[in-house]
Structure 1
Amino acid sequence: MTIRYPRPLRPGDTIGVTAPSAGVVPALQERLLHAADVVRAKGYDVRLGETPTGEGIVSAPAEVRAAELTAMLTDPAVRAVVPPWGGELATDLLGRLDWDAFGADPTWLVGFSDVSTLMLPLTLRTGVATLHGQNLMDTPYDVPEGIVGWWDVAASAQDGGALVQRSPRRFRSSGWDDYEHEPEVSTWTLDAAGSWRRLEGEDPAAPVDVRGRLIGGCLETVSLLAGTPYGDVARFAAEHAPEGLVVYLDILEWEALEVGRALWAMRHAGWFDAAHAVLVSRTHAPDSDGFTQHDAVRDALGDLGIPLLADVECGHVPPYLALVNGALARVQHGPEASVITQRLVP
């Protein structure tokens, strides 16, 4: 089997907005509407579902969220589905979705955080590429130099051409923008400097140059799929990735010991058997009594004999790389630059 990509976005295509996890509370809905207008200004129609304005832990009952997501992912007029953001309980949709139907005429599913709870199984089960990138609420931000927006990735030609992104080596040190009082904010505050860090081996400055199919998501949610029919990375590697894998993980808020336990569970489930490298995000999550977030990665994965790169822009700390689950990637890292090149090839 090979990877299949939704067709590239074209001017006039419809972008669907649904909230399969959390909706947007009234105080922040002006940001939601502004973000939709930004997408329209890029040349697309926007279809707002009913769930994005839902309140509570989830935007609507599971059957309602599943129905709206299904309607958008199977409507031939909708060429990308971009939730406003993640949430907590997208996992309650997994048994309610017809994965084969989503693969019949693939549509881009875009986002990160809890949206990866759905994107990862879609790619693993069907071989359809999904796009781990900015959520809708992040779309108004100017993309830092070196990074590509989800809209440009989804519109790119699928002829094997290279999508090159470089770490800007700057990030946001803390906090979030105030969407209630500044709903049109469009500039990231990248007030701290920092590069990727190599965690394994005797020489942390040794260069990295590896290739493999990208696969990953938010650690706090996708780790709980390991060992289930929705998180069978080993099977995906055997069926779709003879080139091996580059696994990326977004660490949101778990303490280091929780991260370590999750990584061990994923390792036991075969997540890293075909990995040529593991990328973990920069995180503001806490350490555990002197056991750091980097220690957790070293403890669980340090003897795999593959590069382990930390502080990658694949998490909740802005800015955000756009990573295509299923794309063939080359990861290069050294003192001068950190680069990821993707090719949307079968």
Structure 2
Amino acid sequence: MDTSIELPPRLSEGDTVGIVSPSSPPRPGCIEGMVDYWTSRGNPVKVGRHARDVEGGFLAGTARARADDFNEMLRDPDVRVIVPSMGGKGSTQLLPLIDFDALRADPKIVLGHSDGSALLVALTTRCNVTTFHGPNGMDFGRLGVTEFSEQMMNSVITRAEPLGQIPEVSTREVVRRGPAVEGRILGGHLRTLQTLIGTPYEPDWTGAILFVEEIDCEFHDVDASLTHLRLAGVLDQISGLVVGTCVDVRERYWTSSEDLSDVIARACDGSDFPILSGIDLGHTRDKVTVPLGVMARLSPDEGSLEIISAGVS
């Protein structure tokens, strides 16, 4: 990926929002709530033809059907934002079927998190276009997007200026000190990112600020995923690590005297990049929208992460 990146146009009132289900089937009420949310903002909505499909229980239809919906939104000149109805599992199945040329030809905002991290990172990697790690259908349609999350999203996708310092909601912890570093910010859900290692959709990590977050797993799962990234050479390339506030991550199987920061520090032993934890992104109710591929500054001793480049034009 180039150090410069293509920015999609900012979201304006009247722009159409496309809703798709690239992973698991949406929970009851998700799509209906998403339609209500976006239309109340003055944004018409198109729902993918297969967005309510179910295949095998945990998939929202076949890979081809899910990819067709996604590609239709990429190719539709009226659609300016694409939002998944749900995370879950299965988005990596779409990657060989995605029309990357369509996004290169017409950059648009692709938003989401969780399993959608695979799509976001792959699109930014293959197209050199910014994508956006932020709310998805569970936030808009089932849980109700919080005022903080909406403010952070609007600051990133409706204004052609840098987000700046990310406000502190959860308590932050400096896991490893060091000088401030700058780099392209890349990341997402840790176990989903792990599935991209060694594939054509893995980004160039050189000098990147990597952010990861997790939900509903054990300390040993985080240890295994970070160890995989270390053995694959990812941790040898990045300039800094940000760990988002994790949700329901604790050791249930083993009796452990460690906390999550201890696990992270040990898994990253042998490297010297700074590590900051407690940034609100991903599965937290209050979440920042992070534009992937743009420049950021991590200042661990100050406990701050700053997005220093705009995500939209």
Work out whether the TM-score is over 0.5.
Answer: yes
Secondary structure at the counterpart of residue 119 of structure 1? helix
Give ranges in structure 1 of 5+ residues lacking alignment.
170-193, 238-243
1:314 CA drift (Å): 2.0
Secondary structure at the counterpart of residue 144 of structure 1? helix
Secondary structure at the counterpart of residue 217 of structure 1? strand
Match of residue 312, structure 1, among 271, 279, 287 = 279
What is the RMSD of the two structures over their aligned residues, measured on CA atoms?
2.3
Give ranges in structure 2 of 5+ residues lacking alignment.
none
1:109 CA drift (Å): 0.9
Aligned to 1:123: 124
Distance 2:118 2:293 in 1: 16
Please state if 1:88 is matched with 2:54.
Answer: no
Q: 2:42 is aligned with what amino acid?
A: G
Please state if 1:212 is matched with 2:183.
Answer: yes
Contact kept in structure 1, 2:134 and 2:287, CA below 8 Å: yes
1:248 CA drift (Å): 0.3
1:122 CA drift (Å): 0.9
Contact kept in structure 1, 2:8 and 2:107, CA below 8 Å: yes
Contact kept in structure 1, 2:86 and 2:138, CA below 8 Å: yes
1:16-51 Cα distance to aligned partner (Å, 9 max, x none): 0000011224xx22x431332221122211111233
Aligned to 1:150: 153
Secondary structure at the counterpart of residue 234 of structure 2? coil
Q: Which runs of structure 2 are paired with 1:178-197 in the superposition (5 Å)?
A: 194-197=170-173
Contact kept in structure 2, 1:162 and 1:343, CA below 8 Å: yes
1:73 CA drift (Å): 1.2
1:272 CA drift (Å): 2.8
1:226 CA drift (Å): 0.9
1:3 CA drift (Å): 0.8
Q: 2:46 is aligned with what amino acid?
A: R
Match of residue 222, structure 1, among 189, 193, 197 = 193
Please state if 1:7 is matched with 2:9.
Answer: yes
Contact kept in structure 1, 2:8 and 2:109, CA below 8 Å: yes
Q: Which runs of structure 2 are paired with 1:1-346 in the superposition (5 Å)?
A: 1=2, 2-25=4-27, 28-29=28-29, 31-55=30-54, 56-139=57-140, 140-144=144-148, 148-157=151-160, 161-169=161-169, 194-201=170-177, 209-234=180-205, 237=206, 244-283=207-246, 284-287=248-251, 288-290=254-256, 291-332=258-299, 338-344=304-310
Contact kept in structure 2, 1:248 and 1:314, CA below 8 Å: no
The structure showing larger relative contact order (alpha-carbon pairs under 8 Å, at least 6 residues apart) is 2
Distance 1:339 1:328 in 2: 11
What TM-score, normalized to structure 2? 0.87
Moved more, 39-48 or 319-328: 39-48
